[in-house]
């Protein structure tokens, strides 16, 4: 990672905090590693990204059904899905400080390729290359660490009451597959979609919101005929690109990785990861996996309830196979912020060039001078009308007009509307200043509102 790229990441993290997008979680108490809180602008941006996804993958299609399952689920879900046994990362400990670290990350940071390596091979590599902890101390052997957060449900804490904070939203979809089939009789192929929180006790959360312990996913389980999976896989991949384009992410920053078998999740027969050129390097943005009938078969075996789909008007029955697009909201958000960030050298300013459809603030409205009641009154009127129409409109009368423009540029507000004497005494026009070009136009109020 070049220092220039590090600088960009640092600048984005600093702007995110300074302008009310994203704060470190529990900051006032010294923080809680791997957690982040969203401020007014961050929550709006995140919701817009999630709403656009819902609109794109659910509302605009007639083969998708939305669900919103509970985060806490019966422990049998995670036994049947394989998460209790296999949802683990390679852990090493600093033998002096006890610090826990990810073996693969230490090797990667030292410049070694760890793709497809087993735990034993990682252990071998650590020893072979004499890898030390960041404090320069010897490391323990590599062992597996299950990433699920466990808890107990109800007043008695015993083996039977153990549950987990879900590490993926997918299982809440699979467990509702039968409900939807019985209630809605969908034709194959069809999909169930869910957005919501997921939790992973990451050994070393890092890189801002990229690897957190609490994050959000947007997932689809798309049920298909077993012999038809490739067609749906390709169609969903195209839909994913369309969604990323609607977010303004350029295709030359997105790269496909056909994940080798050794690196695929235990349930996947094929996975394509879409990687993005983040300031921290090229990293996984989202995944598209062919999960076969792995999950429905396991649910059928563990629950003794049939997961078979019966083709309407025939006696044909089978367990559908599944294609799964899985998005991490924070990774999409981080890509959107990376792509929006622009240091405009000519004007010595930072600009977040968010596309208009997801910009957290659409218009900022100000009176040119805040000590002129007639300007303030008119500006309030314009603000109220725009707010009623668009919702995400900001009142901004702090500092002089130049400072306001700088602030709104950093927030990514596409247009600032300024009410001056010409508005009230002249032709009823306002100044509309463009974020990207800094050009100012006079626009008739009627046209604007």
Contacting residues toward ligand GAP, per CB under 6 A: 168, 170, 200, 202, 211-212, 215, 217, 219, 284, 286-287, 324, 326-328, 330-331
From residue 400, alpha-carbon distances to 30, 80, 117, 366, 369 in Å are: 35, 62, 58, 10, 8
Residue 386: CB minimum distance to ligand GAP, A = 35
Residue 333: CB minimum distance to ligand GAP, A = 10
Residues contacting residue 320 through CB under 8 Å, at least 6 positions apart = 188, 223, 224, 225, 226, 293, 296, 309
Residue 153: CB minimum distance to ligand GAP, A = 22
Residue 276: CB minimum distance to ligand GAP, A = 10
**3-state SS class at 398:** coil
Distance CA 368, CA 376 (A): 8
Residue 324: CB minimum distance to ligand GAP, A = 6
Q: What is the largest CA-CA distance in the chain?
A: 80
Measured from the CB atom, is 168 or 409 closer to ligand GAP?
A: 168
Residue with CB nearest ligand GAP?
328
378: left (phi over 0), alpha (psi -120 to 50) or beta: alpha
Measured from the CB atom, is 295 or 396 closer to ligand GAP?
A: 295
Measured from the CB atom, is 266 or 441 closer to ligand GAP?
A: 266
Measuring CA to CA, which residue among 422, 441, 449 is closest to residue 367?
422
Strands (E), 279-340: 281-292, 309-310, 317-318, 321-328
The answer to whether 95 touches 140, Cβ cutoff 8 Å, is yes
Q: Which two tokens stand for residue 7?
A: 């600088």
Measured from the CB atom, is 23 or 395 closer to ligand GAP?
A: 23
Measured from the CB atom, is 217 or 408 closer to ligand GAP?
A: 217
Measured from the CB atom, is 202 or 420 closer to ligand GAP?
A: 202
Residues contacting residue 443 through CB under 8 Å, at least 6 positions apart = 429, 430, 431, 432
Residue 329: CB minimum distance to ligand GAP, A = 8
Q: Which two tokens stand for residue 170?
A: 């997918």
Measured from the CB atom, is 125 or 203 closer to ligand GAP?
A: 203
Residue 61: CB minimum distance to ligand GAP, A = 20
């Amino acid at each position: 990672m070049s220092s220039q790229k590090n600088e960009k990441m640092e600048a984005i993290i600093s702007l995110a905090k300074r302008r009310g997008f994203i704060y470190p979680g529990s900051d006032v108490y010294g923080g809680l590693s791997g957690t982040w809180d969203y401020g007014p602008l961050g929550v709006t941006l995140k919701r817009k990204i999630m709403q656009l996804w819902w609109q794109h993958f659910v509302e605009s299609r007639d083969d998708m059904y939305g669900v919103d399952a509970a985060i806490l689920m019966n422990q049998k879900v995670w036994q049947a899905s394989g998460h209790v046994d296999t949802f683990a990362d390679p852990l090493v400990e600093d033998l002096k400080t006890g610090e826990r670290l990810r073996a693969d990350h230490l090797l990667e940071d030292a410049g070694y390729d760890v793709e497809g390596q087993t735990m034993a091979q990682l252990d071998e590599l650590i020893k072979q290359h004499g890898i030390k902890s960041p404090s320069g101390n010897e490391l323990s052997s590599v062992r597996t660490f299950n990433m699920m957060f466990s808890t107990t449900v109800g007043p008695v804490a015993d083996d039977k009451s153990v549950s987990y904070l879900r590490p993926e939203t997918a299982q809440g979809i699979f467990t509702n597959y039968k409900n939807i089939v019985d209630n809605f009789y969908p034709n194959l192929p069809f999909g169930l979609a869910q957005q919501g929180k997921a939790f992973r006790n990451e050994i070393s959360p890092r890189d801002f919101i990229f690897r957190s312990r609490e994050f959000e996913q947007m997932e689809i389980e798309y049920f298909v005929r077993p012999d038809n999976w490739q067609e749906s896989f390709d169609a969903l991949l195209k839909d994913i690109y369309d969604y990323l384009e609607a977010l303004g992410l350029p295709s030359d920053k997105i790269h496909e990785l056909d994940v080798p078998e050794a690196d695929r999740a235990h349930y996947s027969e094929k996975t394509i990861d879409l990687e993005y050129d983040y300031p921290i390097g090229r990293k996984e943005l989202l995944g598209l996996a062919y999960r076969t009938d792995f999950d429905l078969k396991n649910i059928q075996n563990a629950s003794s309830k049939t997961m078979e789909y019966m083709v309407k008007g025939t006696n044909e029955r089978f367990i559908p196979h599944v294609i799964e697009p899985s998005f991490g909201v924070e990774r999409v958000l981080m890509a959107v912020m990376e792509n929006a960030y622009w240091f405009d050298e000519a004007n010595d300013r930072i600009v977040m060039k968010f596309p208009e459809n997801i910009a957290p603030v659409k218009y900022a409205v100000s009176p040119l001078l805040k000590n002129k009641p007639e300007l303030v009154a008119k500006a309030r009127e314009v603000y109220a009308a725009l707010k009623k129409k668009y919702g995400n409109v900001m009142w901004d009368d702090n500092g002089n007009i130049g400072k306001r423009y700088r602030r709104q540029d950093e927030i990514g507000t596409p247009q600032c509307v300024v009410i001056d004497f010409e508005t009230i005494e002249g032709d009823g026009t306002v100044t509309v200043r463009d974020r990207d070009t800094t050009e100012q136009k006079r626009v008739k109020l009627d046209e604007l509102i």
